[in-house]
Structure 1
């Protein structure tokens, strides 16, 4: 694998960093902001070309890859951005682009690239844990005339309260179905909530929502393969986001050890703390390398190899995040547990990222089941 970064990729990351430093001042990170402010930021991200980064040029995008997107997501993780970049620009746009007809792509992808549309993935269910394959979902499609009726519920829908549409996973006759549902569809209700790290989540309930055949993206094995592929893409994105958050935690801890004094000397002078800080830096660099591996593996033709590499990256990054979060809080002392200290907000973001789309145990199981791993 080639880990070198091109000049264009560096320029993109620098542009995103300038945007983040201006829009997310340190003292405001992790705090809730108004819906109007989030929408304005989303429009600004579209003007920078970030929302359509991987969208085809025919739909107004830049047709870039996951490696370019990784730099964007890392910067967004560094500033604890609450914008729906993961749910819309990474997950939903990828699914619609991979599975949608030209008409569906024109209908949904162009507005996403222009920053006019936010789409969330409705996948998890109240009674199911990581139900990502057919036979395990309670959300159902039943035939009705020339279309279908959608019934059931979805929980923990990231960025769901303000989404304009949803990519929904459901079942029909034991086969997985992926479809696009507008947020204003008759029979769809949503209950807003917030996650531990203050991001918007929603619970959706579908009461015989009428679905036309034109809203279907894929079914059966095609839908399962596409869903697993986009979840690997989401996992790679979460690795990059976590690296951004861990980078900021390490930097904040470094500065704190320089200025905080004990027994008349900066904490950074104490050898025991130096050793612990070095462990944080090593864990960060390992995570950065594994996040790059995951980003490059996303487009791997061999699905089993892709899943193995991404699962290994998720486990490595999650374990490193635990170590860095623990050490950052402990080195900051009691203040590290307060809302006034930024450390706590970064720790919460890492805790949520670890459990999105599969926790450590889930990804270890994925790795162990991979034929490539067994070989």
Structure 2
């Protein structure tokens, strides 16, 4: 897989970086947090006008026909500025599950409005006891006439606080499998509670108390929703990991600049070899994370679903661990100022904690990898 950017990809990366530098300063972000806003409508409109929401959507449905690489380029720049808008939740998870599962008519109905920013989609799959990696859920869909009634609770829905339409996973007894349902935010019986996250962004908790949906609300084939959820989660993992890589790049640059100007006993801290070694360790962890992200991109493009899911879990565990290390070291090297909310470097660590929660946690990813290895060893395939 060629990771050298072509001219269009370079222009995309440059355009996102110009926006970040010009319109998304840390002070601007803090001002949005002060009024409790995690999704600026003007910023979301800018995302749409520049084609960032449509970058990885099919041209046939209003997108620009790009791939997960375009998504990652955008997310990496967003990570530098700790962007609050629900790009991963709505433009990636919500949109990609429709791409993977929707019929042509459903894609025509949902994706063009997602691409132009008019509709925000959110995937509601995680539950308290099951998490984002679950193959089955407690939410159930009961037959009611020609349609269904949905019962259950979904938690930690990325982008759910601002979504117009939810893609809800539920077990359908008549298929004994996972079915995805399109549910409008105003549907009677659907209750949404906003969940403020540690980094200032927001998710949602959904309670479905007999939500009535028609048969046509089933996204794709009933009982066959799990592959689409895993496809979307692979793209979402790449997005969050790219966000963390961008954050690590910025945190290391900020720390290096700080050590050049901060003096102790009359000399710059950056002249001390021990601190230079710590910066080198941070840079090494960044390169490990970047390499894992590249490996995930290659796997999404080339591997089978099972092999891809193994790499998803491997990447999520390693990149989050690297990010927590780098951000923790950045805070320490800044000293007391790094602990304050008024200084940017401490907020990167909060982003890593939120990413870990959204990705499902290291223990669940380790268990998923172990299950994959067990299956492959039994069948004589140990390619990992």
TM range, smaller chain? over 0.9
Name the residue aligned to 1:98: 100
TM-fit CA distance, 1:73: 0.7
Q: Deviations over 1:177-205 (max 9, x none)?
A: 11111101111111112001111121111
Q: Which sections of structure 2, spanning at least 5 residues, go unmatched?
A: none
Name the residue aligned to 2:13: 13
Q: Deviations over 1:262-301 (max 9, x none)?
A: 0101110111000001000111122112112212321334
Q: Deviations over 1:99-130 (max 9, x none)?
A: 11222111110100111011111112234344
How many pairs were matched up?
373
Q: Which sections of structure 1, spanning at least 5 residues, go unmatched?
A: none
> Distance between the aligned counterparts of 1:357 and 1:220, measured in 2?
26
Q: Deviations over 1:167-224 (max 9, x none)?
A: 1111121421111111011111111120011111211111111111111114566311
> Distance between the aligned counterparts of 2:167 and 2:301, measured in 1?
21
Is the counterpart of residue 198 in structure 1 residue 200 in structure 2? yes
> Distance between the aligned counterparts of 1:48 and 1:69, measured in 2?
13
Q: Any conservation in 2 of the 1:96–1:217 contact (CA below 8 Å)?
A: yes
TM-fit CA distance, 1:350: 1.1
Q: Any conservation in 1 of the 2:38–2:201 contact (CA below 8 Å)?
A: no
Name the residue aligned to 2:328: 326
> Distance between the aligned counterparts of 1:149 and 1:327, measured in 2?
50
> Distance between the aligned counterparts of 2:196 and 2:92, measured in 1?
21
TM-fit CA distance, 1:35: 4.7
Question: Which one of 305, 308, 317 corresponds to residue 306 of structure 1?
Answer: 308
- TM-score of the superposition, structure 1-length normalised? 0.94
Q: Any conservation in 2 of the 1:86–1:234 contact (CA below 8 Å)?
A: yes
Name the residue aligned to 1:270: 272
Q: Note closer, same or farther for the CA distance 1:219–1:106 as it changes in structure 2 (3 Å cut).
A: closer
1:65-104 → structure 2 map (5 Å cutoff): 65-104=67-106
Name the residue aligned to 1:28: 28
> Distance between the aligned counterparts of 1:57 and 1:286, measured in 2?
34
TM-fit CA distance, 1:34: 5.8
Name the residue aligned to 2:289: 287
Name the residue aligned to 1:180: 182
SS at match of 2:348: helix
> Distance between the aligned counterparts of 1:3 and 1:110, measured in 2?
29
Q: Note closer, same or farther for the CA distance 1:166–1:236 as it changes in structure 2 (3 Å cut).
A: same
Q: Any conservation in 1 of the 2:39–2:162 contact (CA below 8 Å)?
A: no
